[in-house]
Amino acid sequence: MIIKVEAIIREEKLQDVLDALGEMEVHGLTCYQVMGCGTQRGMKSYVRGHQEVEIHMLPKIKLEVLVSSEEWEKKTMETIQKAAYTGNIGDGKIFSYDVRDAMRIRTKETGPGAIQPE
Ligand SMILES: Nc1ncnc2c1ncn2[C@@H]1O[C@H](COP(=O)(O)OP(=O)(O)OP(=O)(O)O)[C@@H](O)[C@H]1O
Ligand SMILES: [Mg+2]
């Protein structure tokens, strides 16, 4: 089983999340800068009580971690949630997906072994 945990977090929370993931056995991750918006559509203000209709994109960080069990999926999601939390709107989202396969290019190993230490 291979599961991808994907988190969209505040830029300023990246180091906290990396520190927290570093405390657990994480064997690899990918992160990149993205632009996005959530339910508030990135809005900053309300005009005369009406919501702005325009969508504003805000800079965020996207993190991807592949894990090999539902137990690690849960642990990873909980760890990221704790470390990325401020309690304000825009804290981000965490998604998880089933991954069909993975391959370590150097060894051609596939399946869960490709994402675990040799
Ligand atoms: N439905 C979605 N589809 C794709 N990406 C999303 C979705 N919702 C949120 N995101 C991504 O997550 C980022 C942060 O979203 P955000 O935290 O604002 O979600 P929210 O549902 O509005 O929660 P909150 O009410 O706490 O703000 C967005 O900038 C966007 O990149
Ligand atoms: Mg939001």
> Higher confidence at residue 53 or residue 100?
100
> In the prediction, which pLDDT does 46 show?
54
Closest to 36 in 3D by CA, of 64, 4, 12, 7: 7
How many domains in the chain?
Answer: 1
Q: Which ligand is nearest to the CA of 92?
A: 1
- pTM to 2 decimal places: 0.90
CB burial readout 56-66, b (16+ within 10 A) else e? eebebbebebb
For ligand 1, whether the C-beta of 90 sits within 6 Å is: yes
User: Which structural domain range is residue 63 located in?
Assistant: 3-115
- Please tell me the distance between residue 41's alpha carbon and the centre of ligand 2 in angstroms: 7
**pLDDT bucket at 48, cuts 50 / 70 / 90:** low
* Mean pLDDT, all residues of the chain: 91
Q: In the predicted model, is pLDDT for residue 21 greater than 80?
A: yes
> Can you give the CATH number for the domain in which 106 is found?
3.30.70.120
Q: Residue 62 CA: which ligand 1 atom is closest?
A: 31
